[in-house]
Amino acid sequence: MAKPNGAVSRKILLEKLTREVIGLEVQYTLATGERTRRIYLDSTASTLRLKVVQDVLDKFLPYYSNTHSLLHFGARLSTKEYHWAHEMVLEFVRANPEIYTAFFVGSGTTGGMNRVARTLREKRPERDVVITTIMEHHSNDLPHRKHFREVVHIPAAMASHSLGCVNLRRLEETLREHADKVNYVAITGVSNVTGIINPIHEIAELAHRYGALIVVDAAQMAAHVPIQMSGHDNPAHDLDVLVFSGHKIYAPGSPGVVITRKDLFADLEPQEVGGGMVDAVYINRYTQSQKFPDREEAGTPNICGAIGLAAALYALHKIGMEMIAEEERKLIEYAIEKLSAVDDLIIYGETDSSLCKRYGAISLNLKNMDHGLTAATLNDYFNISVRNECFCAHPYVREMVTMSLAEEAERLSDEELEQLAELHRGMVRASFGVYSTRKDVDALVAALEHITANKNFYREHYVRLPSGDYEHKTFRFDHKKIFSIQDEVEAFLAARGF
Ligand SMILES: Cc1ncc(COP(=O)(O)O)c(C=O)c1O
| Mean pLDDT value of segment 374-386 | 98
Better pLDDT: 111 or 352 = 111
Ligand 1 centroid–CA 69 distance in Å is: 33
Residue nearest to atom 7 of ligand 1 (CA): 109
Percent of the chain with pLDDT over 70: 96
Q: Which of 21, 1, 20, 27 is nearest to 482 (CA)?
A: 27
Q: Can you tell me which atom of ligand 1 is nearest the CA of 112?
A: 11
The minimum-distance atom of ligand 1 relative to the CA of 191 is: 1
Q: Which ligand 1 atom is at minimum distance from the Cα of 109? A: 11
Residue nearest to atom 13 of ligand 1 (CA): 45
The whole-model pTM stands at: 0.95
Ligand 1 close to Cβ of residue 133 (< 6 A): no
**pLDDT grade for 218, boundaries at 50, 70 and 90:** very high
Backbone angles phi, psi at 413, to 5 degrees: -75, 165
- Cβ 434 vs Cβ 49: under 8 Å: no
**H-assigned helices in 93-218:** 108-123, 142-147, 168-178, 200-209
| pLDDT at residue 158, as a whole number | 63
CATH class of the structural domain 54-318? alpha beta
Query: Is the C-beta atom of 349 inside 6 A of ligand 1?
Result: no
Per-residue pLDDT reduced to its tens digit, 411-452: 777 777 777 776 678 899 999 999 999 999 999 999 999 999
Q: Is the pLDDT of residue 162 over 60?
A: no
Ligand 1 neighbour 436 (Cβ under 6 A): no
Q: Is the CB of 78 under 6 A from ligand 1?
A: no
- In this structure, the number of other CB atoms found within 10 A of the CB of residue 482 comes to 12
Confidence at residue 350, expressed as pLDDT on a 0 to 100 scale = 84
Res 364: pLDDT: 95
Using one digit for the tens of pLDDT, what is the confidence trace for 219-265?
A: 999 999 999 999 999 999 999 999 999 999 999 787 899 999 999 99
Max CA-CA distance within the chain? 75
* Contact in structure between 143 and 114 (CB atoms under 8 Å): yes
User: What average pLDDT does range 74-85 have in this prediction?
Assistant: 97
Does residue 1 have a pLDDT over 60?
A: no
Q: What ranges do the domains of the chain cover?
A: 7-48+321-481, 54-318
Q: Which of 245, 359, 363, 429 to probe ligand 1 with, by most ligand atoms within 8 A of CB?
A: 245
- pLDDT higher than 70, residue 163: no
Phi, psi of 347 (to 5 degrees): -105, 130
Residues pairing with 261 in the sheet: 100
The pLDDT-based confidence of 217 (bands split at 50, 70, 90) is very high
What mean pLDDT value characterizes the chain?
A: 92
> Parallel, antiparallel, or unpaired: how do β-strands 100-105 and 256-261 relate?
antiparallel
Per DSSP, the chain holds a count of helices (H) and strands (E) of 16, 23
Which ligand 1 atom is the nearest neighbour of the CA of 192?
Answer: 16
Q: Which ligand 1 atom minimizes the distance to the CA of 247?
A: 10
5 C-alpha vs ligand 1 centroid, how far in Å? 32
**Each residue's pLDDT tens digit, 284-307:** 999 988 999 999 999 999 999 999
Please tell me if the CB atom of residue 254 comes closer than 6 angstroms to any atom of ligand 1: no
Binding site membership of 137 for ligand 1 (Cβ less than 6 Å): yes
Does the 7-48+321-481 domain belong in CATH 3.40.190.10?
A: no
Q: Please tell me the chain's helix, strand, coil percentages from 3-state DSSP, rounded to the nearest 5.
A: 45, 20, 35
Q: Return the pLDDT at 148.
A: 98
DSSP H stretches of helix in 179-272: 200-209, 262-265
What are the CA-CA distances from residue 461 to residues 32, 380, 473 (Å)? 12, 11, 6
Whether residue 125 has a cis bond before it, omega within 30° of 0: no
Centre of ligand 1 from the C-alpha of residue 391, in Å: 9
Please tell me if the CB atom of residue 217 comes closer than 6 angstroms to any atom of ligand 1.
Answer: yes
SS3 398: helix
Cβ 43 under 6 angstroms from ligand 1: no
What contacts 469, CB < 8 A, 6 or more positions away?
372, 376
By three-state DSSP, how is residue 333 classified? Answer: helix
